[in-house]
Amino acid sequence: MTEPEKQQGHGSDFKRKMRDRNRYDNGGVGFFMFLAFIGAAVYFVSRSHGFWDGVLAILKAVVWPAFLVFQLLQHYLG
Protein backbone atom coordinates (compact mmCIF):
# COMPACT_ATOMS: atom_id res chain seq x y z
CA MET A 1 0.00 0.00 0.00
CA THR A 2 1.40 3.35 -0.97
CA GLU A 3 1.64 6.32 1.34
CA PRO A 4 -1.29 8.24 -0.25
CA GLU A 5 -3.53 5.17 0.17
CA LYS A 6 -2.61 4.98 3.85
CA GLN A 7 -3.46 8.64 4.28
CA GLN A 8 -6.86 8.14 2.64
CA GLY A 9 -7.73 5.48 5.19
CA HIS A 10 -7.98 2.34 3.04
CA GLY A 11 -6.11 0.33 5.68
CA SER A 12 -8.39 1.57 8.43
CA ASP A 13 -11.46 0.47 6.43
CA PHE A 14 -10.10 -3.06 6.33
CA LYS A 15 -9.35 -3.00 10.05
CA ARG A 16 -12.82 -1.64 10.81
CA LYS A 17 -14.50 -4.36 8.71
CA MET A 18 -12.47 -7.09 10.39
CA ARG A 19 -13.21 -5.67 13.84
CA ASP A 20 -16.93 -5.49 13.09
CA ARG A 21 -16.96 -9.00 11.62
CA ASN A 22 -15.21 -10.43 14.67
CA ARG A 23 -17.63 -8.63 16.93
CA TYR A 24 -20.75 -10.23 15.43
CA ASP A 25 -19.65 -13.65 14.11
CA ASN A 26 -19.79 -15.60 17.39
CA GLY A 27 -23.46 -15.02 18.22
CA GLY A 28 -24.50 -18.62 17.74
CA VAL A 29 -21.86 -19.96 20.11
CA GLY A 30 -22.71 -17.36 22.72
CA PHE A 31 -26.40 -18.22 22.52
CA PHE A 32 -25.64 -21.93 22.92
CA MET A 33 -23.44 -21.21 25.96
CA PHE A 34 -26.18 -19.03 27.46
CA LEU A 35 -28.75 -21.81 27.02
CA ALA A 36 -26.35 -24.33 28.54
CA PHE A 37 -25.83 -22.04 31.54
CA ILE A 38 -29.58 -21.54 32.02
CA GLY A 39 -30.21 -25.28 31.76
CA ALA A 40 -27.45 -26.10 34.23
CA ALA A 41 -28.65 -23.40 36.63
CA VAL A 42 -32.22 -24.73 36.54
CA TYR A 43 -30.98 -28.29 37.09
CA PHE A 44 -28.65 -27.46 40.00
CA VAL A 45 -31.05 -25.00 41.68
CA SER A 46 -33.91 -27.48 41.49
CA ARG A 47 -31.78 -29.99 43.40
CA SER A 48 -30.77 -27.50 46.12
CA HIS A 49 -32.47 -27.34 49.54
CA GLY A 50 -31.51 -23.97 50.94
CA PHE A 51 -30.19 -20.51 50.18
CA TRP A 52 -26.50 -21.41 50.30
CA ASP A 53 -27.16 -24.56 48.32
CA GLY A 54 -28.76 -22.31 45.70
CA VAL A 55 -25.71 -20.03 45.66
CA LEU A 56 -23.48 -23.08 45.23
CA ALA A 57 -25.80 -24.30 42.47
CA ILE A 58 -25.30 -21.06 40.51
CA LEU A 59 -21.52 -21.40 40.90
CA LYS A 60 -21.72 -24.99 39.67
CA ALA A 61 -23.71 -23.82 36.66
CA VAL A 62 -20.91 -21.39 35.80
CA VAL A 63 -18.02 -23.86 36.05
CA TRP A 64 -19.52 -27.18 34.90
CA PRO A 65 -18.03 -26.92 31.37
CA ALA A 66 -14.53 -26.89 32.87
CA PHE A 67 -15.21 -30.10 34.78
CA LEU A 68 -16.69 -31.69 31.66
CA VAL A 69 -13.61 -30.88 29.58
CA PHE A 70 -11.31 -32.10 32.37
CA GLN A 71 -13.15 -35.43 32.61
CA LEU A 72 -13.16 -35.90 28.83
CA LEU A 73 -9.45 -35.19 28.56
CA GLN A 74 -8.71 -37.46 31.49
CA HIS A 75 -10.74 -40.25 29.91
CA TYR A 76 -9.26 -39.98 26.41
CA LEU A 77 -5.67 -39.08 27.28
CA GLY A 78 -5.44 -41.33 30.32
Secondary structure string (H, E, C) spanning the chain:
CCHHHHHHCHHHHHHHHHHHHHHHCCHHHHHHHHHHHHHHHHHHHHCCCCHHHHHHHHHHHHHHHHHHHHHHHHHHHC
pTM (global) more than 0.75: no
Instruction: Give the contacts of 37 (CB within 8 A, at least 6 positions apart).
Output: 61, 62
Domain that holds residue 10: 3-77
Structurally, the chain folds into a number of domains equal to 1
pLDDT for position 41? 95
Q: What is the pLDDT of residues 27-67, one digit of tens each?
A: 678 888 899 999 999 999 999 999 999 999 999 999 999 99
- Whole-number pLDDT of residue 24: 61
Return the amino acid letter for 37: F
Rounded mean pLDDT of 8-21? Answer: 66
- The mean per-residue pLDDT over the stretch 23-29 comes to 67
In the predicted structure, residue 22 carries a pLDDT above the cut 70: no
Q: What is the pLDDT of residue 32?
A: 87
